[in-house]
Structure 1
Amino acid sequence: MMNNNYYCIIMAGGMGRRFWPYSRKQLPKQFLDFFGTGETLLRITFDRCKGLVPSGNIYITTYIDYKDIVKSILPEIEDRQIIIEEERRNTAPALAYASYLIQKVNPDATIVVMPSDQLILNIDKFRTSILKGLDFASSSGKLVNVGIKPTRPETGYGYIQIDEEEREGDFCKVKTFIEKPSLEFAKVFVEGNEFYWNSGIFIWHVTTIMNAFHENMAEVCPRLECDAPDFSACPNISIDYSIMEKADNVYVQMCDFGWADVGTWQSLYDASPKDTNSNVILNSNSILYDCSENIIHMPKGKLVVAEGLQGYLVAEHDNVLLICKKDDQNSIRKFVNDVEMKFGDEYV
């Protein structure tokens, strides 16, 4: 029987610009079927959460323009479960408002927060781990950051260093956070036992997180703890920078359940099956000659014929074809910004 005091917040308000041109401003990645399964990333995440908490305790935070999209993907949820951001201000203001609303409904709530764009391979281990985290956070007064044991020297993820001397079972106090290290440091991190990938999944009792917001973001709390929140008056800041890296009661839950962040084309490449030349072909027909380590994503019914490509992204969607090196994710943001400045919203 599920615990009625357990809640879930799914974050689904981003524009997904790092997945352009497939992800667009009007229909970003969380509302797309990336794996050709017939289900969107949001639907997959919601169904994953149904095994953790009652369906009525799952809330979706999203940008105001996406409310109808969320309702079409999740027709079973009520309007009260969709938390609207009228202005994009990153994850901290959205989670502060969502936590406030949940506290009003249930002051005994313990919440797991998760992005809508992650791949979990072992659902049973995931649910066992998250339930253990909910149990721990419900009574400990700790803010929990789910950490994943690294399997490779990944430079695209953030890392968390744990303090083994302050350990409670699978939970260790955070020593420090490290953002997207160089390959040299990532190799050191993966060889040691004290570094974990920052999954972006958080677990906390609603009182614990609200106290953290009042301590670290006191100036914005009055703007959000009301029936008509003023997101425009809030800073554009993530929950990582605003709370997790400042609070002194943050613990890492050390987990291993087959996790991948599907936040970039490179991470999608890493998480996808590959052919004998390490190419990833998604929903596409292709004939490749002397090509390796590429990712190709085309509309159904189109054929790609390529020769001599190594380490490229070839992606077409609607009115845009993008061809670039797949491992330079910062360039895609630049491409989108440049396109928007030159052509307006037509191609973004």
Structure 2
Amino acid sequence: MDLRDFYAIIPAGGVGTRLWPLSRQDRPKFLYDLLGSGRTMIQGTFDRLAGICGQDHVVVSTGRRHVAQVRAQLPGLGEDAVFPEPVPRDSTAAIALATAVLARRHGDRIVVGSFAADHVIRDDKAFGRSVRQAVAAARAGYVTTIGMAASRPSTAFGYIHQGPSLAAEIPDAPDARLVSEFVEKPDASTAQAYLSTGEYRWNAGMFVMRADVVLSCLERFVPDLYASIMAIARVWDEGADQRNQALDEYWPGIEKIAFDYAVAEPLSAAGGVAMVPGGFDWDDIGDFNSIAGLLPSSNRRNIKILGDSDRVVYLDSGGDMVVPETGRTIALLGVDDMIVVDTPDALLVAPRARSQEVKDMVGKLSQYGRDDIL
């Protein structure tokens, strides 16, 4: 498939508070090598997308404070391929701005795809096949998502209810299905019911669409956001002064809303969203338990170590997730199923079963005025 009209957007935002104290506001999780692979999360994402559409067709949307770190990690990124955000405004604003500027540069019939910087994807070839089908569905006018196989009744992900096949309408996307609806993160019993039907897939937040289609949706569903984004996009390539002036004027007032809520959910009700199944292993590294599930065990008792394993000594312990960041030795005696993250200015100790609640601890620290370590 000819992909000269396809451009990939990497939204690199969010702090990853469930991975505190490893992930911080000044150095969020996508800048780390969380799997010990030798490449950080954003480097892996860039490599994967560049392999599909070429380095010059990949752009990154990130916070102003992270631009230097992103450029240092991605030397192949084009000079005009970074979209700095003054303050976070969630995925809709990030995707919309990059899309609007790319459309002005290359025409509004281009296809854009949004792929988060912090996802783990195994089998790049299978990922490429899914993206190509998604591009075909996008060319046909659909906002297209890549739905992941729901291998367990997870309550951590949103779900996609898949409808009838679109293969007859889109021959180049034989696996594409119409999306009946997007559903929020369910409770355990609802998730089990979804799984038993075989009609639901996890929502991985990957979207592929024609620029004119998504911009039209934004104008229809979130008109104020659309107007602000277009005002910024009109002057984006006229110089740094004009760009920064427009960002300072319009960006702070832009609605903070996820793309799923702003576009995907209302459009699916109108029959405008397609889904292509993702035939590859995927994880969004939401917490330390997610990391533990992807790392090899260091002993027969399933201890997982991210970092220098020589710094961890264990006796009668098992099932732990350990991150030694200081060079100090961590000694585990009779410690089971715990998270231990040792950084120079903060130490986290928590049960693995409460990994999702690390975010609540970050909130507690903020209440105590400890933003200096967040």
Q: Fold-level match, TM-score > 0.5? A: yes
**Alpha-carbon shift at residue 309 of structure 1 (Å):** 3.0
Distance in 1 (CA, whole Å) between partners of 2:76 and 2:332 is 44
Aligned match of 1:273 in 283, 296, 301? 296
Q: Does 1:216 align with 2:217?
A: no
1:51 is paired with a residue whose SS is: helix
Q: Quote the sequence identity (%).
A: 23
Q: Deviations for 1:99-158, whole angstroms, at most 9, x for unmatched residues?
A: 1011101222111110011111111111111112112212x1101111011122222111
Distance in 2 (CA, whole Å) between partners of 1:288 and 1:280 is 11
Q: Does 1:115 align with 2:135?
A: no
Aligned match of 1:235 in 255, 258, 262? 255
2:115 is paired with a residue whose SS is: strand
Q: Which residue of 2 aligns with 1:73?
A: 73
Distance in 1 (CA, whole Å) between partners of 2:190 and 2:253 is 38
Is the Cα–Cα contact under 8 Å of residues 284 and 304 in structure 1 kept in the other structure?
Answer: no
Distance in 1 (CA, whole Å) between partners of 2:354 and 2:261 is 24
Distance in 2 (CA, whole Å) between partners of 1:276 and 1:176 is 43
Is the Cα–Cα contact under 8 Å of residues 157 and 185 in structure 2 kept in the other structure?
Answer: yes
Distance in 1 (CA, whole Å) between partners of 2:203 and 2:332 is 37
What TM-score comes out, normalization by structure 2 length? 0.87
Is the Cα–Cα contact under 8 Å of residues 4 and 54 in structure 1 kept in the other structure?
Answer: no
Whichever residue aligns with residue 56 of structure 2, its letter is G
Q: Deviations for 1:264-303, whole angstroms, at most 9, x for unmatched residues?
A: 2222222222343333222143333343332111127433
What value does the CA root-mean-square deviation take over the aligned residues?
1.9
2:80 is paired with a residue whose SS is: helix
Distance in 2 (CA, whole Å) between partners of 1:218 and 1:193 is 37
Q: Which segments of structure 1 move beyond 6 Å, counting only runs of 4 or more?
A: none
Is the Cα–Cα contact under 8 Å of residues 14 and 62 in structure 1 kept in the other structure?
Answer: no
**Alpha-carbon shift at residue 260 of structure 1 (Å):** 1.2
Q: Which residue of 1 aligns with 2:313?
A: 287
Greater shift, 27-36 or 302-311, is seen at: 302-311
Change (3 A) 1:205 1:101: same
Q: Does 1:16 align with 2:16?
A: yes
Q: Which residue of 2 aligns with 1:173?
A: 178
Q: Deviations for 1:49-108, whole angstroms, at most 9, x for unmatched residues?
A: 111112111110001111111111112223310011112111111111111011101222
Unaligned runs of 5+ in 2: 169-173, 236-245
Q: Deviations for 1:295-315, whole angstroms, at most 9, x for unmatched residues?
A: 111127433222333332111
Q: Does 1:187 align with 2:203?
A: no
What TM-score comes out, normalization by structure 1 length? 0.93
Distance in 1 (CA, whole Å) between partners of 2:329 and 2:189 is 39
> What count of residue pairs does the alignment treat as equivalent?
347
Is the Cα–Cα contact under 8 Å of residues 117 and 263 in structure 1 kept in the other structure?
Answer: no
Change (3 A) 1:165 1:253: closer
Q: Does 1:135 align with 2:136?
A: yes
**Which structure: greater helix fraction?**
2
2:191 is paired with a residue whose SS is: helix
Unaligned runs of 5+ in 1: none
